[in-house]
């Protein structure tokens, strides 16, 4: 008798045979949505815990009453009030704020609450009603105004003890541009200790906070030998080239005292950073006559590459055309070929005011160097009729000297309106 072997029925067939209903299929993405809900719930719970801790931490130091109002009300007027309110706040704080320096320092050192920072970051997408209620509770803007007003008040009071200087220095790094600007301005008013703190902080700051510190540096409270190297180093590391005129303005504040330091930096700097230093010097020379005059006076003792860069500065500066023309003429008579070329480029830009430079070029025509002599002759020709007084000298050179000198003299004589012999 033979036995027939049959394969077992699949599980689905068994289920159908037994009448069981298969489990429903889950729609795609269910697990991802569930995971997202868990994450959002966790974040919400974390935020609630942090806000609760923030509520338990209190609102900050108590403030005294000054002339019938809490001190921080005067600080808010000072920071953001109308012109009349700001002036009233200044008078009150000058007359009665000296005894509240410790409180001002505490207010300045108070960090915005976590809830306040979170609210400021999220108010763009919060419902308006909820945002209004949260602002009434946490008052993030009032805390910021209190701190800014405290920084301004410390500058008004003129207290230079170490605690005040340190607290204002910390405010520079707050990330709040308005507060950093107020702290920088106050440090600038607080004499050498405040300016030293600004210089120490400058390399560590960035963006608007760095520019605020730069604007706060007071030249009368430090020396160019101390401050200018720090300013130059910060300028070389500045990522935003559009802000470089601010650094040049800071150099202009030191006048002629800054020139030697800038020249020294130019002589030690490679080509690409050197162009940035040249731009700073152009701004400083354009704003400070003392800087421009010293720049011209100290030119002759520089090495050739620095002379070339310095003539580039004079070429880009506006005004003082006669003085610049004379310096360009000296450059044309320099033994170095690159300096001569830079001098000629500059002289062409001021040819209408270059009559005073003609005697310098006439002296260059007597040089023992053939290259210098020819360069001076060609420069006279570039000036055209302005150099007509050099005609007798050029006429003499047309008959004397080597062929190159004679040819250059004839061409220059024609250019200025003379007739070669």
Cα–Cα distance, 82 to 73 (Å, whole number)? 13
Give pLDDT, residue 327. Answer: 93
- Whether 259 is covered by a domain: the verdict is no
> Can you give the residue range of the structural domain that contains 113?
66-222
Assess if residue 276 is contained within a domain: no
Is this prediction's pTM over 0.85?
A: no
Mean pLDDT, residues 401-407: 86
Average of per-residue pLDDT across 363-375: 90
For residues 403 and 158, give the distance between their C-alpha atoms in angstroms, rounded to a whole number.
74
Among 27-41, 99-113, 238-252, the minimum mean pLDDT is found in 27-41
Cα 120 to Cα 58, 196, 252, 378, distances in angstroms: 19, 33, 39, 68
Q: Can you tell me the distance from the alpha carbon of 144 to that of 135, in angstroms, rounded to the nearest whole number?
A: 13
In this prediction, residues 324-353 reach a mean pLDDT of 91
The pLDDT value given to residue 181: 95
**Domain presence at residue 34:** no
Cα separation of the two ends of the chain = 144
Residue 2 has pLDDT above 50, yes or no: no
pLDDT at 90: 92
For residue 251, being part of any structural domain is answered with no
With 90 as the cut, is the pLDDT of residue 96 above it? Answer: no
Q: Is residue 360, in this structure, part of any structural domain at all?
A: no
pLDDT tens, residue by residue, 297-311: 999 999 999 999 999
* Cα 111 from Cα 134, distance rounded (Å): 18
Total structural domains in the chain? 1
Q: Rg of the chain over CA atoms, in angstroms? A: 37
Alpha carbon 221 to its chain's center: 21
Residue 136 covered by a domain? yes
- Residue 348's pLDDT band (cuts 50, 70, 90): confident
Residue 123's pLDDT band, with cuts at 50, 70 and 90, is: low
Q: What is the mean pLDDT of residues 389-401?
A: 86
Residue 348 lies in a domain: no
Predicted pLDDT at 55: 45
In a domain, 406, yes or no: no
Is the predicted pLDDT of residue 145 greater than 90, yes or no? no
Q: Pairing state of beta strands 65-66 and 69-70?
A: antiparallel
């Amino acid at each position: 008798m033979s036995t027939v072997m049959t394969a077992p029925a699949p599980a689905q067939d068994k289920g159908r045979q037994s009448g069981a209903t298969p489990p429903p299929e889950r729609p795609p993405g269910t697990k991802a949505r569930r995971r997202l809900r868990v994450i959002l719930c966790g974040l919400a719970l974390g935020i609630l815990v942090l806000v609760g801790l923030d509520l338990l931490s209190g609102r900050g130091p108590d403030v005294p009453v000054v002339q019938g109002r809490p001190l921080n009300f005067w600080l808010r007027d000072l920071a953001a009030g109308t012109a009349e309110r700001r002036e009233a706040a200044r008078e009150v704080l000058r007359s009665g704020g000296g005894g509240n320096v410790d409180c001002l320092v505490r207010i300045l050192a108070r960090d915005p609450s976590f809830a306040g920072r979170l609210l400021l970051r999220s108010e763009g997408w919060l419902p308006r009603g909820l945002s209004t209620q949260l602002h009434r509770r946490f008052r993030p803007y009032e805390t910021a105004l209190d701190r800014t007003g405290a920084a301004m008040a410390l500058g008004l009071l003129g207290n230079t003890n170490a605690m005040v200087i340190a607290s204002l220095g910390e405010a520079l790094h707050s990330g709040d541009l308005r507060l950093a600007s107020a702290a920088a301005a106050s440090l600038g008013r607080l004499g050498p200790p405040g300016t030293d703190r600004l210089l120490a902080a400058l390399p560590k700051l960035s963006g608007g906070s760095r520019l605020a510190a730069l604007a706060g540096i007071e030249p009368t409270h430090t020396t160019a030998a101390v401050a200018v190297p720090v300013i130059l180093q910060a300028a070389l590391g500045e990522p935003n080239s559009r802000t470089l005129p601010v650094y040049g303005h800071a150099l202009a504040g030191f006048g002629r005292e800054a020139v030697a330091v800038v020249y020294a930096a130019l002589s030690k700097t490679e080509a690409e950073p050197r162009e940035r230093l040249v731009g700073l010097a152009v701004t400083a020379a354009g704003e400070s006559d003392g800087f421009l005059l010293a720049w011209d006076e100290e030119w002759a003792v520089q090495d050739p590459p620095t002379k070339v860069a310095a003539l580039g500065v004079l070429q880009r500066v506006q005004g003082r055309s006669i003085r610049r023309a004379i310096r360009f003429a000296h450059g044309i008579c320099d033994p170095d070929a690159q300096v001569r070329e830079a001098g000629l480029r500059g002289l062409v830009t001021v040819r209408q005011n270059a009559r005073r430079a003609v005697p310098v070029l006439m002296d260059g025509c007597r040089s023992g160097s053939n290259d210098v002599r020819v360069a001076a002759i060609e420069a006279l020709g570039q000036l055209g009729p302005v150099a007509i007084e050099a005609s007798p000298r050029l006429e003499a050179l047309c008959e004397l000297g080597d062929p190159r000198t004679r040819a250059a003299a004839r061409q220059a004589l024609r250019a200025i309106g003379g007739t070669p012999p």
